[in-house]
Amino acid sequence: MRSFVQNATQKLEWLLELGGTKRDIAFLCVSGVALVLSLLQIRPFPFDMAWVAILLCGVPIVLEAVIGLITSFDIKADVLVSIALIASVCIREDFAAGEVAFIMQLGALLEDLTVARARAGIEKLVHLTPQTARLLRDGTETVVPAQAVQVGDWLRVLPGETVPVDGVILSGQTAINQAVMTGESLPVDKSAGDTVSSGTVNQFGAFEMEATRVGEDSSIQRMIQLVQSADAGKAKIVGLADRWATWIVVIALTAAALTWAITGEIIRAVTILVVFCPCALVLATPTAIMAAIGNATKHGFLVRVGDALERLAGVKKVAFDKTGTLTCGVPQVVAAQGIANRCDAETVYALAAAAEQLSEHPLGKAVVRCYREKTGRMPAPATDFRMIPGRGVEAVVGGKKVLAGNAALLAENGIAAATAPEAEGYRQQGCTVILLAVNGEAAGYLALVDTLRPESAAMLRALRGAGVEPVLLTGDHENAARTIAAQLGIHEVHADCLPEDKLRCIDACQDSGDPVCMVGDGINDAPALKKAMVGIAMGGVGSDIAVDAADIVLVDDEVRELPHLIALSHRMMTTIKINLVFSMGLNFLAIFLAIAGVLNPVVGALVHNAGSVLVIIHSALLLQWRKKQPADVMRAKKVPADD
C-alpha cells in the first residue's frame, strides 16, 4: 500500500512539473476567455465553457492538495479550494467552480513570479579558487595542483598570478590586490615576513612564500563555506492563507455542515464553501509585493528574491561596506606639499605625475588622472622608468632623477624622508601618502584618499530619521574607517574586517534583536550579504559574486534611493495588512449572507471575486507611491517627491 501511494504521488508531482510559468500564463488566458463565454452563456461546444477553467486551473489545485495530504497531511489553502471546486461541480454550479479555480491560479502565478530562486554565486567563487601552484623543492620549480600543496611547502608566485594558499613571504617585494578578502580599493605593499591569503592577486613583483594554511583551511575556501552556510538560518515567510489554512478549512466545513443540517439546503452549504475560498487572502500579499517591486525597479533596485521587501521592513540597522558603497572607490589626490627651498607644491605634483605616467599601479594611475583633471594637460615626458614592486617608481624627468613611493624606497636610496612627520597627519586621516625625492633629496609628498559619494551624508541622515541606525563594516584600516565615519556621523564602526569578521558582527546584531540589512559591493561582502536579514549589492561597481549573493541589487549605485526603498517596504507591509483585514472581513460577511440564503454559489463567487479585484487595485497604488524626502536627499533628482 505504501509503495502504491509513493508511486501515485510521484506521478502526480511529475504532472505538476510539466510546463512551468509559460504554461500557467497560457492556461489562465484560455480560462479567462472561457469564463467570459460561460458568463454570457455562449456555448461553441456542447458543454459549459467553465469546464475549460475547471480542467486547466482547477485540476492542478486539486492535485497539489492531494499530494500535500498524502505525503505529510499538510493542510493548505488549496484543500478548501479543492473542496469548494468539487462541491460546486457536484451541484452543477460550473461557473462558480471555474471562477474559483481561475482566481486561485492567478494568485499562485503571482507568488511564483515574486518568489525568485536565490542564487548563491558559489560557482563564481569556485572559479576564483587557484588551480595550480609553483612548488619549490630541491632547487627546482614544479607546477602542481593547488590541492597538493602541504603546510610548510615553499612556493613561488609570479606577477599577475593568484596566491594559491595562505602563507608568509620569505623573499621578494610586491603589491597584493586583496579586494577579494578585505574590499580595500588599493593594492597593499608586501615584503618578507608579511602574510598573504589565497585568492588574492599578486600584481607586480615575484616572491617566494611558505604555505601555512592549505585546502579547506585556506582563506578562499573558508569564504566559500561561509557563503554556502550563511543563509541557512534566514527565515522564509509563509503565506498567511497557508498559515491559517487548517483553521479556515475547519471553520468552513463546520459552518457548511451546520447550515446543511439546519436548513436542509445543500446549495447554501456549497455557497459557504465558495465564499470562504481565500482568494482575496491569497492575493493580498503577492499583489502588494509585485507592485512594490515595480516601484523599486523604477528607482534603480532589482529585487531578486520575492520576500526581500517583507524582511527589509523589519530591519533595525543598515551595515555599509565603505569602499565603493559610501565612497566612490577611486582614489583622489587631496594634497600636494613641497619642502621649502627645494620644491613647491605645484612642482611636486607635476614631477610625481610625470614619474607615474608609465606605472600600472592604481595609485600611480590616480596621480596621473587627477593631474590631468586639475591642469588640463599631460604630464611631462619621462625616461629610464623603472617600477619597484612594493616600493614605488623611479624615472628621469627633465634631467632630474625622481623617486615616488613609500618611506622604504627613500631609505633604500639613502634619503631621509624629511616630509614623513608632516605627512603623518594625513596618514592619521586614512590617506595614502606618496613621498617624492628629486636628485637624492626629499622634495615633498602627495596625499590620496578614497572620496565620499556626494549623496552618502544626506542618505544616512534620512535613514536615521526613519529610525534605522547605520553601521560601518570595512576591511580598510582603522584610521580610514574612523575618518569616513566621522564625516558621515556613523557611531558604530568595525574596521580591518575579514569576511568572517563581518559575519560575526551581523550575527551579534541579529542575536541581540536588531535585524541587519547589509549593503556592499565586493567579493568579500558576499557572506555578509547572505547572512544579513536582507543583502543589497551595488550593481554598477560591485562584483558579480556580491550581486549573486544579494537579495536586492542597486543597479545604478544611487545610494540616495536607499531611504525610499526602506520606506517602500514599510508602506508595502501596511498595504498587505489592509488587504488581509479587508479580505477576511468580506469573507465573513459573505458567509453570514450565504447562511441566510441571500447568496447562491454564482453570486457568492462574484462577490468574493469583486473582493479580489479591490485587493489588486489597492495593491496597484504602490506602483506610484513615494514618501516625501528632505530636499538634500532629493537634490539632483528629476522625479518630484509626491505622496
Contact 168, 195 (CB under 8 A): yes
Q: Where are the domains of the chain?
A: 123-230, 301-326+453-565, 328-451
Collapse the DSSP code of 521 into the 3-class scheme (helix H, G, I; strand E, B; otherwise coil) and give the result.
coil
Report d(CA 56, CA 30) in Å as an integer: 9
Tell me what the mean pLDDT of segment 500-520 comes to. Answer: 86
pLDDT tens, residue by residue, 546-588? 666 778 877 666 788 889 999 999 999 999 889 888 887 887 7
DSSP-derived secondary structure for 245-282: HHHHHHHHHHHHHHHHHHH--HHHHHHHHHHTS-HHHH
- Global pTM exceeds 0.85: no
pLDDT tens, residue by residue, 75-120? 666 676 777 777 777 777 777 778 777 877 776 676 555 443 333 3
Query: How large is the angle between the packed helices 601-620 and 94-114, nearest 10 degrees?
Result: 20
pLDDT at 641 (0 to 100): 40
Backbone φ and ψ for 555, nearest 5 degrees, come out as -60, -45
Report d(CA 440, CA 438) in Å as an integer: 5
Look at 28 and 403; give whichever has higher pLDDT: 403
Report d(CA 143, CA 468) in Å as an integer: 52
pLDDT at 168 (0 to 100): 92
Contact 87, 273 (CB under 8 A): yes
Kindly tell me if the per-residue pLDDT of 187 is higher than 80: no
Report d(CA 491, CA 463) in Å as an integer: 14
CA 630 to each of CA 315, 320, 460, 467, 637: distance values in angstroms, whole numbers, following the listed order: 21, 21, 12, 15, 12
Tell me what the mean pLDDT of segment 477-492 comes to. Answer: 83
Q: Are strands 534-538 and 441-452 parallel, antiparallel or unpaired?
A: unpaired
pLDDT confidence bin for 244, thresholds 50/70/90: low
pLDDT confidence bin for 242, thresholds 50/70/90: low
Look at 558 and 631; give whichever has higher pLDDT: 558
Report d(CA 370, CA 382) in Å as an integer: 18
pLDDT tens, residue by residue, 122-135? 444 455 567 889 99
pLDDT at 129 (0 to 100): 67
For the domain made up of 328-451, give the CATH fold. Answer: Calcium-transporting ATPase, cytoplasmic domain N (3.40.1110)
For the domain made up of 123-230, give the CATH fold. Answer: 2.70.150
Backbone φ and ψ for 597, nearest 5 degrees, come out as 85, 5
Kindly tell me if the per-residue pLDDT of 140 is higher than 60: yes
Angle at CA of residue 469, ends 321 and 286, nearest 5°:
85
For the domain made up of 301-326+453-565, give the CATH fold. Answer: Rossmann fold (3.40.50)
Beta bridge partners of 471: 319, 492
Contact 473, 494 (CB under 8 A): yes
37 class by beta-carbon count within 10 Å (0-12 exposed, 13-18 middle, 19+ buried)? middle
Average pLDDT, the chain: 77
Look at 622 and 14; give whichever has higher pLDDT: 622
Tell me what the mean pLDDT of segment 44-50 comes to. Answer: 83
Angle at CA of residue 66, ends 60 and 72, nearest 5°:
130
Kindly tell me if the per-residue pLDDT of 2 is higher than 80: no
pLDDT confidence bin for 234, thresholds 50/70/90: very low
Encode 244-275: b = buried (16+ Cβ within 10 Å), e = exposed.
bbeebbebbbebbeebbeeeeeebbbbbbbbb
Look at 65 and 209; give whichever has higher pLDDT: 209
Calculate the dihedral angle through the C-alpha atoms of 436, 438, 440, 446, rounding to the nearest 10 degrees.
-10
Tell me what the mean pLDDT of segment 487-494 comes to. Answer: 86
pLDDT confidence bin for 267, thresholds 50/70/90: confident
Beta bridge partners of 332: 449
pLDDT confidence bin for 183, thresholds 50/70/90: low
Tell me what the mean pLDDT of segment 527-537 comes to. Answer: 85
In terms of Cα–Cα distance, which of 514, 478, 540 is closest to 318? 514
Within a 13 Å sphere around the CA of 102, how many CA atoms are in the beta-carbon half?
27
In terms of Cα–Cα distance, which of 510, 453, 447 is closest to 479? 447
Tell me what the mean pLDDT of segment 251-267 comes to. Answer: 81
Tell me what the mean pLDDT of segment 428-450 comes to. Answer: 85
Catalytically active residues are: 321
